[in-house]
Chains A and B, each alone.
Chain A
Amino acid sequence: MTAEDWQAGGFGLYIHWPFCLSKCPYCDFNSHVAATIDMAAWQRAYLSEIRRIGTETGPRTVNTVFFGGGTPSLMAPDLVAAILETVRATWPCANDMEVTLEANPGSVEAGRFRGYRDAGVTRVSLGVQALNDADLRRLGRLHSTAEARAAFDVARSTFERVSFDLIYARQGQTPADWQAELGEALAMAADHLSLYQLTIEPGTAFGDRHARGLLRGLPDDDRAADLFTATQEICAAAGLPAYEVSNHARPGAESRHNMIYWRYGDYAGIGPGAHGRLTLGGQRWATETPLSPSSWLAQVAQTGRGETPRTVLNPREQAAEYLLMGLRLVEGLSVARYERLGQEQIDPGKVADLEQLGLLEHHAGILRATAAGRAVLNAVIRELLPD
């Protein structure tokens, strides 16, 4: 039997924990603030969904598990342990299976780190967001810089691998401010950093304020481009080069789970609002689940299936997804795989034009965006997508 396409990317599980203590003004993720949470009910639902999907996929090796949210560090370590136990009982797991949990860098959460490690978590990703107390407050974060640093130290001594997130191109942030902050972050000796430019999303508190002209001092596109370029250079010099648009790692310390997305592997999405891509019976399915936590929970309990109707992705859609994911990676994508997925040639004229502009490189069957190309990746992809 020939290998199925998803195997070029691997297989991972995404577990969505939808709750937060408060909603951040920039966040457009599926997160909710709830007064009380019935942990037992949530545990039953997660375990039931894992088993259901296991039955559908049959045996295949799980490479990674990722607990995202929301704020998964609000989960009881026992719940995390139960989920991982069930995963191991359902699928064969890679020996070096990566299990990541997104954590808030507060003191309360740090107290649970050991429990998570004992449950099987190998990596945490801390939502530090800024190393500046005034900006943390503006970003609606409940932690302080000091707490974040303390949480990071606990994480560093507890887990093999630690990453944290920072948001830059913030209101009033000068290039010098950001370079200093990034320098401090690099000095903390994480092996992985996710550095996101602040994006104003409609439907968030920042989105509303922006629409009303109340969000002043955001950098324009040219200044944002300068900040992006500086970020690439500083991280590369510090030994954490970009391996994706917003992700930097010491070689070998890349997020293997996220690599599954970008290499267009298969992933099961479990929990409210989680998306998946599953190759079943020779077709690639896009799966989604009910967005609202209570609906998802009730649906799983009542029907044993926490999903909204699935759709089959046609060749063109699969190729488009591989392209928009794969070009985010510094390693690029395989042209042969792209053309096999889409059953269509990539336009050599367009590729040549973009190469001419220094935005793309095409070499030995690999198509990759240059650093300049990654900064304008949406435009590059729009150009490459077939008409």
Chain B
Amino acid sequence: MTELSQIRNFSIVAHIDHGKSTLADRLIQLTGTVAERDMKEQLLDSMDIERERGITIKANTVRIEYPAKDGKTYVLNLIDTPGHVDFAYEVSRSMRAVEGSLLVVDATQGVEAQTLANVYTALDADHEIVPVLNKIDLPAAEPARVAEQIEDVIGIDASNAIQISAKTGLGIPDVLEAIVTRLPPPHEGDATKPLKALLVDSYYDPYLGVVVLVRIIDGVLRKGDRIRMMRTGGTYGVDRIGVFRPAMQDIAELGPGEIGFLTASIKLVRDTRVGDTITTERKGIETPLPGFKPSIPVVFCGLFPVDANEFEDLREAIEKLALNDASFTYEMETSAALGFGFRCGFLGLLHLEVVRDRLEREYGIDLITTAPSVIYHVYMRDGTMMELHNPADMPDLTLVDHIEEPRIRATILVPDDFLGDILKLCQDRRGEQLDLTYAGSRAMVVYDLPLNEVVFDFYDRLKSVTKGYASFDYQMAGYREDYLVKMQILVNDEPVDALSTMVHRDRAEMRGRAMVEKLKELIPRHMFKIPVQAAIGGRVIARETIAALRKDVTAKCYGGDATRKRKLLDKQKAGKKKMRQFGKVEIPQQAFINALKMDG
């Protein structure tokens, strides 16, 4: 056990690419936590997708031992938190497990929206914050200007910001020293009290079962203890206790203020909810830590195998993925057009993409992803309310009184030059401006937007209209009634349920037109002409026609061509199986997602 006064628990708040992972690597390296030969870039991001996208999905921890200038050796526990809005709740839990944060800002870029959201979460958690200006070795670095911006935008003192280059290692010793001198030790902690520990995060390991990251508040956790999860009620015998350095290292016990892991033959990540309180099975505490909430999916879509024969493979893959991701929900769905698949719920769009990518990449399943949907509250005339996750389930309109949709409060930071584009984008997406302020040459815009206008391609559009210079963050902001209708797409006069979407009535014509035009490009010509229509309750609001194929014949076909021609036709025949058949029409896989992408 370590003395409370010699423990420092902290997290790093930074925007993507501002150098969080590199700084973490340097801290680990400089303290000799990892042998030089085992260093690889971004030690803490373990999933391929995390590495590729430069994002953190799961919280990671690392314990560093640092001999400070005062002659004492301190235990520094770094929690690397997810950095994306989809995982805002997980971030807030991680923040509760530590007492301070390093705020890392790229001295060539300045503060971004995501940084802002996370720094507010840190302030909410009463963190001491040490500003760190990174990349000061670059010629474009403007530490003075960025420090001023931190004070203006965030409102914290940046006069003693530490100037570093995580890449070259410049200033890293100063950071270590500041962690000890400027961040507080754990505020409370009594080893004699009953066990009280915060469940920070968990993940599934095929050999160990579920590995649980914990922060001990009071009491001591030892191997062999019987523990109880206070929210989910499960009880378990602790098999292993240890810390991450960053490889797993067993230790005998974890005392107050310490951060580490436990394993207890837990089979499902679902049984270890982020934010839960862990105590002993007997003589435990009565009141759990405040602030727990189960993670709730906000974006839904259908996932169907392109090849209907792969349904069982998809089921298996989804079940395996769900083992390690409690926030992702799924249930079987049957679509008239797509057959068997799953309706899945996600914390946000990034989460959706990550799960879809993993299913395709790690399990080799080609997927059709249907239009993402949010949860609508459909109030019926009989006074009941139903949650609508799938436009296909929209009840008969004569039974519906009104519909409410979820809204978000979006914060966008953008250079002046692109402000007009951003305002137009938000306006086009039915946004209502709440605030517009300037900090230097950057504007901060706050909009109230319907979530359904954001779930699909808002982020892509934002990036493209601002050449990547805007940053974006959001919080859920309740439900509000609006004039929403279900728009159906009919291909060759047959409704394709996978393309149904909920839209605002005023935007229906525009969306419908855009979708049928897109589909006209995406569906190959057939031997007959194909009408493609958008309709609201049987009334057609947009129509395009895919002309019939008129020319597809091999000019020369003689004796020497028979074999090649036969094989080619066989191959094309096999290629047709990659498309989904709707009545007599074959729709390629990409059409489902691409049809929804708006150019404006």
A interface residues (Cβ-Cβ under 8 A, vs B): 14, 196-199, 221-222, 224-225, 228, 245-246, 258, 260-261, 267, 269, 273-277, 286, 288, 317, 320-321, 324-325, 328, 353-354, 357, 359, 374-383, 385, 387
Give chain A residues whose Cβ lies under 8 Å from the Cβ of B526: 379
Question: How many residues on the B side are at the interface (Cβ–Cβ under 8 A)?
Answer: 26
Contact B555 A197 (CB under 8 A): yes
Q: How far is the CA of A169 from the CA of B299 in the complex (A)?
A: 51
30 cross-chain CB contacts under 8 A = A14-B560, A197-B555, A221-B549, A221-B551, A222-B547, A222-B550, A224-B551, A228-B551, A245-B554, A261-B562, A269-B560, A275-B560, A275-B563, A276-B559, A277-B559, A288-B563, A321-B566, A325-B562, A353-B584, A357-B527, A375-B552, A376-B552, A378-B552, A378-B554, A378-B572, A379-B549, A380-B527, A382-B573, A385-B569, A387-B573
B interface residues (Cβ-Cβ under 8 A, vs A): 526-528, 547, 549-560, 562-563, 565-566, 569-570, 572-573, 576, 584
Q: Which residue of A lies closest to B556 (CB)?
A: A196
Give chain A residues whose Cβ lies under 8 Å from the Cβ of B549: 221, 376, 379
| Closest chain A CB from B56 CB (angstroms) | 42
| Closest chain B CB from A372 CB (angstroms) | 8
Contact B527 A221 (CB under 8 A): no
Give chain B residues whose Cβ lies under 8 Å from the Cβ of A286: 562-563
Contact B573 A199 (CB under 8 A): no
Contact B550 A320 (CB under 8 A): no
Main secondary structure on B side of the interface with A: loop
- The 8 Å CB contact of B553, one of A261, A274, A276, A377, is A377
Q: Which residue of A lies closest to B549 (CB)?
A: A376
Contact B527 A320 (CB under 8 A): no
Contact B569 A320 (CB under 8 A): yes
Decide yes or no: A324 and B559 within 8 Å by CB, A379-B549, A380-B527 being known contacts: no
Decide yes or no: A245 and B562 within 8 Å by CB, A354-B527, A385-B569 being known contacts: no
| Closest chain B CB from A347 CB (angstroms) | 13
Q: Which residue of B lies closest to A16 (CB)?
A: B560
| Closest chain A CB from B98 CB (angstroms) | 57
- The 8 Å CB contact of A385, one of B550, B563, B573, B584, is B573
Contact A357 B576 (CB under 8 A): no
Besides A261-B562, A328-B557, A387-B573, 4 other A-B contacts (C-beta < 8 A): A260-B559, A267-B559, A275-B562, A376-B527
Contact B562 A321 (CB under 8 A): yes
| Closest chain A CB from B567 CB (angstroms) | 10
Give chain B residues whose Cβ lies under 8 Å from the Cβ of A317: 566
Q: How far is the CA of A351 from the CA of B584 in the complex (A)?
A: 14
| Closest chain A CB from B196 CB (angstroms) | 64
Q: Which residue of B lies closest to A194 (CB)?
A: B556
Decide yes or no: A245 and B551 within 8 Å by CB, A324-B562, A382-B572, A387-B573 being known contacts: no
- The 8 Å CB contact of B569, one of A199, A274, A288, A381, is A381
Decide yes or no: A273 and B557 within 8 Å by CB, A379-B549, A379-B552 being known contacts: no
Q: How far is the CA of A383 from the CA of B527 in the complex (A)?
A: 10
Q: How far is the CA of A269 from the CA of B542 in the complex (A)?
A: 57
Give chain A residues whose Cβ lies under 8 Å from the Cβ of B553: 245, 374-378
Contact A245 B555 (CB under 8 A): yes
Q: How far is the CA of A274 from the CA of B560 in the complex (A)?
A: 6
| Closest chain A CB from B556 CB (angstroms) | 6
Contact B550 A382 (CB under 8 A): no
Give chain A residues whose Cβ lies under 8 Å from the Cβ of B560: 14, 269, 273-275
Give chain A residues whose Cβ lies under 8 Å from the Cβ of B563: 275, 286, 288
In the A-B complex, the 6 residue pairs with the closest CB atoms? A225-B550, A225-B551, A377-B553, A196-B555, A275-B560, A261-B559
- The 8 Å CB contact of A378, one of B558, B562, B569, B584, is B569
Give chain A residues whose Cβ lies under 8 Å from the Cβ of B559: 14, 260-261, 267, 269, 275-277
Give chain A residues whose Cβ lies under 8 Å from the Cβ of B547: 222
Decide yes or no: A377 and B552 within 8 Å by CB, A320-B566, A357-B527, A383-B527 being known contacts: yes
| Closest chain A CB from B501 CB (angstroms) | 31
| Closest chain B CB from A359 CB (angstroms) | 6
Q: How far is the CA of A379 from the CA of B524 in the complex (A)?
A: 12
Contact A379 B527 (CB under 8 A): yes
| Closest chain A CB from B562 CB (angstroms) | 5
| Closest chain A CB from B48 CB (angstroms) | 33
| Closest chain B CB from A349 CB (angstroms) | 11
| Closest chain B CB from A151 CB (angstroms) | 22
| Closest chain A CB from B475 CB (angstroms) | 48
Contact B562 A199 (CB under 8 A): no
Give chain A residues whose Cβ lies under 8 Å from the Cβ of B527: 354, 357, 359, 376, 379-380, 383
Q: Which residue of A lies closest to B553 (CB)?
A: A377
| Closest chain B CB from A50 CB (angstroms) | 17
Q: How far is the CA of A139 from the CA of B557 in the complex (A)?
A: 20
Decide yes or no: A246 and B556 within 8 Å by CB, A225-B550, A379-B527, A380-B527 being known contacts: yes
Contact B566 A324 (CB under 8 A): yes
| Closest chain B CB from A186 CB (angstroms) | 19
Contact B557 A324 (CB under 8 A): yes
- The 8 Å CB contact of A199, one of B528, B556, B566, B570, is B556
| Closest chain A CB from B582 CB (angstroms) | 15
Give chain B residues whose Cβ lies under 8 Å from the Cβ of A196: 555-556
- The 8 Å CB contact of A222, one of B551, B556, B562, B572, is B551
| Closest chain B CB from A64 CB (angstroms) | 11
- The 8 Å CB contact of A324, one of B552, B569, B576, B584, is B569
- The 8 Å CB contact of A375, one of B550, B562, B572, B584, is B550
Give chain B residues whose Cβ lies under 8 Å from the Cβ of A273: 560
Give chain A residues whose Cβ lies under 8 Å from the Cβ of B528: 357
* Residue from the set B549, B555, B563, B570 with the largest chain A CB neighbour count within 10 Å: B555
Give chain B residues whose Cβ lies under 8 Å from the Cβ of A320: 566, 569-570
Q: How far is the CA of A84 from the CA of B469 in the complex (A)?
A: 78
Q: How far is the CA of A286 from the CA of B576 in the complex (A)?
A: 27
Give chain B residues whose Cβ lies under 8 Å from the Cβ of A378: 552-554, 569, 572
| Closest chain A CB from B309 CB (angstroms) | 13
| Closest chain A CB from B571 CB (angstroms) | 10
* Residue from the set A221, A274, A378 with the largest chain B CB neighbour count within 10 Å: A378
Q: How far is the CA of A14 from the CA of B562 in the complex (A)?
A: 14
| Closest chain B CB from A367 CB (angstroms) | 16
Q: Which residue of A lies closest to B554 (CB)?
A: A378
Q: How far is the CA of A202 from the CA of B188 in the complex (A)?
A: 74
Q: How far is the CA of A320 from the CA of B566 in the complex (A)?
A: 7
Q: How far is the CA of A357 from the CA of B550 in the complex (A)?
A: 12
Q: How far is the CA of A324 from the CA of B556 in the complex (A)?
A: 12
Q: How far is the CA of A161 from the CA of B562 in the complex (A)?
A: 26
Q: How far is the CA of A14 from the CA of B560 in the complex (A)?
A: 10
| Closest chain B CB from A119 CB (angstroms) | 22
Give chain B residues whose Cβ lies under 8 Å from the Cβ of A261: 557-559, 562
Q: How far is the CA of A225 from the CA of B551 in the complex (A)?
A: 5
Contact B562 A376 (CB under 8 A): no
Give chain A residues whose Cβ lies under 8 Å from the Cβ of B562: 261, 275, 277, 286, 321, 324-325
- The 8 Å CB contact of B554, one of A199, A276, A359, is A199
| Closest chain B CB from A44 CB (angstroms) | 24
Q: How far is the CA of A376 from the CA of B528 in the complex (A)?
A: 11
Q: How far is the CA of A178 from the CA of B565 in the complex (A)?
A: 28
Give chain B residues whose Cβ lies under 8 Å from the Cβ of A321: 562, 566
| Closest chain A CB from B17 CB (angstroms) | 36
Q: How far is the CA of A276 from the CA of B561 in the complex (A)?
A: 10
Give chain A residues whose Cβ lies under 8 Å from the Cβ of B554: 199, 245, 377-378
Q: How far is the CA of A353 from the CA of B585 in the complex (A)?
A: 13
Q: Which residue of A lies closest to B524 (CB)?
A: A379
Give chain A residues whose Cβ lies under 8 Å from the Cβ of B551: 221-222, 224-225, 228, 375-376
